[in-house]
Structure 1
Amino acid sequence: MSLEQLKREGALWQGRRPQVAADRHLPSGWSVLDEVLGGGWPRDALTEIISESHHGLPLLLPLLARLSLASRWLAWIAPPHVPYAPALVARGIHVERLLLVRDVSAEQCLWAAEQALKSGGCGVVLAWPQQLQAAQLRRLQLAAERGDCPGVLFRPPRAARQASPAALRLRVRPAPLGLEVEALKRRGGWAGGHCIVPLPVVADPV
């Protein structure tokens, strides 16, 4: 019996790369990164960016610039420092759409992130939480689904060892003239994708 006959009769499984609907993704602004992400950032789910010193934030700047043209808020929950407004403006981000929550406890950070995600009033929620438990991650994932809002958590390297319900998990490291991105987990696709995202040389950091 030939391979084609086995396939027609359902006796042969043929592996193929899973596909995820394009409208469930938001383009990143870099084609090389979109290939690793499976089309872009998940639009109604959690993404974890795992890195030292929050290296992954520049990857999101094109998305933030596009989303800031709409009426929904760009929520920043407990960032390690106040965003530098002139640098954001230089990258096309309308800073009047930023909603900044700072100087909060670990519990308040999670509460604010969950409320922002499920509110329906935010175009994206960025959060810098402290140590998270699996149940807390699940609550944030459900809130993102309910609010149809992408949530991005910036987490330290040790978080890579923790199981997570997040749709996308990336490990980000600095590279010459850019950032090295590795997909540790991707909804509807294979883990292990890898790329170098070239970043422009800018005068002021965000």
Structure 2
Amino acid sequence: MIAVQSTYKHPANIRVVSERKPLHSIQVTHTPQHQALAGKVTEIVVQDREPQTLAMLLPLLAQLSFDQRWFLWLAPPAGLAKPVLQNAGVDLTKVMMLSPANQHTLHNLACRALQTGTSHLVISTEQGFDTEEMAALKDAARLGQSHAIVIRYC
């Protein structure tokens, strides 16, 4: 089961949840700048690292590559091949993948990337972010008018 905390409509095996509002789903406005998602953070919780689970998420990521901005994928899954992304419709000219070095935390890099406002952000993580870190991500996304997708493996 995958839990999504945001605004996308997904296939029936993905559940849309909200902490403060009833379960709901709204349409994403497909404008060049994804105005409906600017300043927001979406968290997707995945219970396994099976290839078919990632395959379900790739169309969502392909949608990000249709924007005028590129998207940065922090800590992408090891061994993720470019042909897999390309076959899912991801425009590889608009994707940058980066694994954090020891001197930078994943959270620090994520906040800095969101604040710049030059890209949307995808973050893969096993430990997730605590409440304060998630609030800082949301603030950074608002400041940069960017959107972040956190893929948390548990």
TM-score normalised by length of structure 2: 0.67
The answer to whether the aligner puts 1:128 opposite 2:115 as a matched pair is no
- Whether the aligned pair in 2 keeps the contact of 1:128 and 1:155 (CA below 8 Å) is yes
Change in CA separation of 1:156 and 1:64 when aligned onto 2, cut-off 3 Å: closer
- Whether the aligned pair in 2 keeps the contact of 1:33 and 1:40 (CA below 8 Å) is no
Q: Which residue of 2 aligns with 1:94?
A: 91
Question: Which of the residues 19, 22, 40 maps onto 1:45?
Answer: 40
Change in CA separation of 1:32 and 1:91 when aligned onto 2, cut-off 3 Å: same
SS of residue paired to 1:114 = helix
RMSD: 3.0
Query: Unmatched 5+ residue regions in structure 1?
Result: 1-23, 158-206
Q: Which residue of 2 aligns with 1:111?
A: 108
- Whether the aligned pair in 2 keeps the contact of 1:46 and 1:150 (CA below 8 Å) is yes
SS of residue paired to 1:154 = strand
Letter of the 1:120 partner, please give it: G
Change in CA separation of 1:84 and 1:78 when aligned onto 2, cut-off 3 Å: same
Q: Which residue of 2 aligns with 1:180?
A: none
Mapped partners of 1:106, 1:39: distance in 2:
39
Letter of the 2:90 partner, please give it: I
The answer to whether the aligner puts 1:71 opposite 2:58 as a matched pair is no
Letter of the 2:25 partner, please give it: G
- Whether the aligned pair in 2 keeps the contact of 1:113 and 1:127 (CA below 8 Å) is yes
Query: Unmatched 5+ residue regions in structure 2?
Result: 1-5, 17-23, 29-35
SS of residue paired to 2:114 = helix
Mapped partners of 2:85, 2:117: distance in 1:
24
Mapped partners of 1:132, 1:106: distance in 2:
18
* Structure 1 residue 38 displacement after superposition: 1.3
Change in CA separation of 1:128 and 1:149 when aligned onto 2, cut-off 3 Å: same
Change in CA separation of 1:144 and 1:71 when aligned onto 2, cut-off 3 Å: same
* Structure 1 residue 51 displacement after superposition: 2.1
- Give the total of aligned pairs: 131
Mapped partners of 2:49, 2:103: distance in 1:
17
Q: Residues 130-145 of structure 1 correspond to what in structure 2 (within 5 A)?
A: 130-145=127-142
**Deviation readout 1:155-198 (Å, 9 max, x if unpaired):** 244xxxxxxxxxxxxxxxxxxxxxxxxxxxxxxxxxxxxxxxxx
* Structure 1 residue 65 displacement after superposition: 2.1
Q: Residues 146-161 of structure 1 correspond to what in structure 2 (within 5 A)?
A: 146-157=143-154
Q: Which runs of 4+ in 1 moved over 6 A?
A: none
- Whether the aligned pair in 2 keeps the contact of 1:78 and 1:127 (CA below 8 Å) is yes
Mapped partners of 1:50, 1:95: distance in 2:
25
